[in-house]
Structure 1
Amino acid sequence: MLILVTSLLIILVTTDVHLEPRATCSIGKVYFSTSFQAGDLIVGSFVQLCSFYEDNFHTSQYLHEIKCYGTSFSFLRQYLALIYAVEEINKSSQILPNITLGYQIFDSCGCEFKAMSGLLDIMSGEQQTIPNYDCWKNNKLVGFLGDLTTSTTQSVAQFLAVFRYPQISYGSMDPVFHDRVQFPSFYRTIPNEEAEIDGIVQILKHFGWKWVGLIISDDDTGYRARERISTELAMMGGCLVFLFAIDYGTHTHSTMLKGETMFKEIEKTTVNVIIVFINPKYIYESIAILLYSRIPERICITSSLFTDFITFPHNLKQNVIFNRALSLLIQEGEIPDFHTFLKSFALSNYPQSKLTEYIWQDVFDCIFPSWTENKPTSDRICTGNESIIDEVSMLGNYRVTYRVYTAVYALAHALHNLYSAQPPANHWDKLEYMRNLKPWQVG
């Protein structure tokens, strides 16, 4: 295990990382933006605050430099929902009374390298990556939340399975996580994608649509959809008229060419129904290609994750309109008093959170005078008093935000059940018991 972890450390570096000079055989410390709140019990958390990333591999140093782009108010709201849920639980006398939850949050930006770097940091504690050592002192790491995309979620889950730490994802719908041997302590607050594919098939059957086109992401998610939909269409006496698979990381010129090709192919057909089923990781490539393709008026059917991601960052064009579109939606719930929390949110209450400062600068296009890492290009000075309520509340899709909120509560209730199962004792005895829990007891 030590050999595995050490080899991972060689390549996991982000744009805001600093490696201290080190001796040949020592392990360097890795620092990057994080949000930490102390507590008796610590929840390691991965949120996606950026839509896409650029991976620059430096062959001379064998390092990956990850640059993340595309922060949005939707991502900010999801991040704040996690913080709000923890604070709400700590104020409650009904869940873990007299025991505080803390957190350490990292932005994965959908990048496996960055997620694994954050994971090793969380497991070591004290923002030091020391394989097989726990430096949490008086804080107890009890579980993990996240991530949004399947690739980062799976990378983290495969590592955590060795230690049996519970992990609750709020975004990955991949059916691979049904394997309880490979992922014994994995849970999620979102249905599996096969249910969505079946839902799309039911729509096709209901309207009698037998001849359809399919646009998918060039990965397992897309090809599972192709297999299931094409099989069902064949049973209905229909078929896929055309299929387009979208690559990840498509450059602008390639995007234009692929969009033009798609437009010409669709224009040749009389098919009226186009299904768009993509991995969220491919959302921007998909939108760009759909824009360039100038797809003629057709009925579009999309998955719920497409709808979750359709809200763009404020600095990108928001003119993507799907006329005559049908989309599956995952249940949305109400988060009590969350609007009040957003209205009164003050950055000054979180002075140690570099991650909050980072996303704040990006969404408000400003810079804090004290910020020295990965400086934004804006000349505007951040005050920390910028109002988020109008910007955040106007984005009506709270579905992902609600899943983040329920993921925090799911883990908290699991911990509370263990807490309540103990015989009556004084507070210190119960706290000591919770601090000595084994990961498998929670999951």
Structure 2
Amino acid sequence: MTQTSIWQQILDYSHRPDPYPLYTELRKTPVVRVEDGSYVVSTYREIVALLHDPRLSSDLRNLPESAATASAHVPEEGPATLPPSFIQTDAPEHDRLRRLLTRNFGPPHCPGRIDGMMPHMAEIVTSEIDDFVGKDRSGTARIDIVDDFAYPFPVTVICQLLGVPREDEPRFQAMSDAVVRAADPTTGGIAERQRRRAKAVAVLGQYFAGLLDARHGQRGDDLLSGLLSGDGDEAPMSPGEVLSNAALLLVAGHETTVNLITNGMLTLLRHPEVLERLRRNDEPDLAARVVEELLRYEPPVQFLSNNRNSLDDIEIAGTTIPKGSPVTLALAAGSRDPDFVPDPDRFDPDREHNEHLGFGGGIHYCFGAPLARPETQIALTELAHRLKNPRLVTDPPPYRASPSLRGPRHLLVEIDGVNPRRP
């Protein structure tokens, strides 16, 4: 079995339910060149080193000419292309854009934005659970954790944060799906994927442009309005930058959280002793530790695929990654590296020093982590407390197509009713 064939098996849908034995094989060669000419890095220390290495660029304009041209080109009949979002840029451009986003997202400038949303998050979750079995809250019911819970919850939250009408969800979900499909490494070459992604993001940006036009200059206290106002020492984002970063936040703000919540509930149902501990609610920090371990054990983002490229020859783990090479960082493999994590294939929320790669690292550490963490903690705690005798209908469940944004497409669970809301 060659290392390249291992990578192809990881991408193959048949291995979506459990890719981790393949990651074990992949780690035997920490850096490997695969069929499309890119390099896959799979061991913890090497991934961390590259996440902090300025020679590894996130700017797609630094890709080889054919891929860079394709990523920037949108057909004439399509919407105009947008500038890169902040995760597709390097310092100092990245730092400027991230500062402007952070000014309107969290501390120190908006320290209460996320905390202020917590009561509303809890109300959304409890209302969704109330709807599982109707007003009598008793009797056997079958629910889909994805469609009935894990999807609508973060979508509602990100809509509130961005100032997007919740009733537009069918429209932007179709556009969001197109962005996710465009990044799927199983479909086409690197250049073709970048071209499709640029087009999909442009369409989503066009939606936001229409949304802003409909406001007729009226601003609210949402993140979009804050980006447009540009208060502070730095100039505001350009209109194009606002649109591309809003599109990114809308997609990333719910796609990954849906996977984290669903992977979390699946893992808890497979580990009923942890589910019972969470249900008892007598360990104040357990929910936080469960979420951190989930980010290591079943991360919603398995790898960062071909969105980084080498600006120079990079020598790492005995292999030279040539200048101009696309690089994939296999975060899920790194977080289960036995050379860094003891007993890595065991789900253990009591694990100490859990320095996982679930949110990436370096200057591109996940921008939405301060929101995803409380969302998932609230969701899993309420599910554990309120669902009576939850049990899986199918294990493994059917998975989504994407190998990088990995999570169940449906998670059917039978319950014997729901407990009353907690005081």
Q: TM-score range by the shorter chain?
A: under 0.3
Structure 1 or 2: more strand by fraction? 1
Asked which structure has the greater CA Rg, the reply is 1
Tell me the TM-score normalised to structure 2 length: 0.25
Structure 1 or 2: more helix by fraction? 2
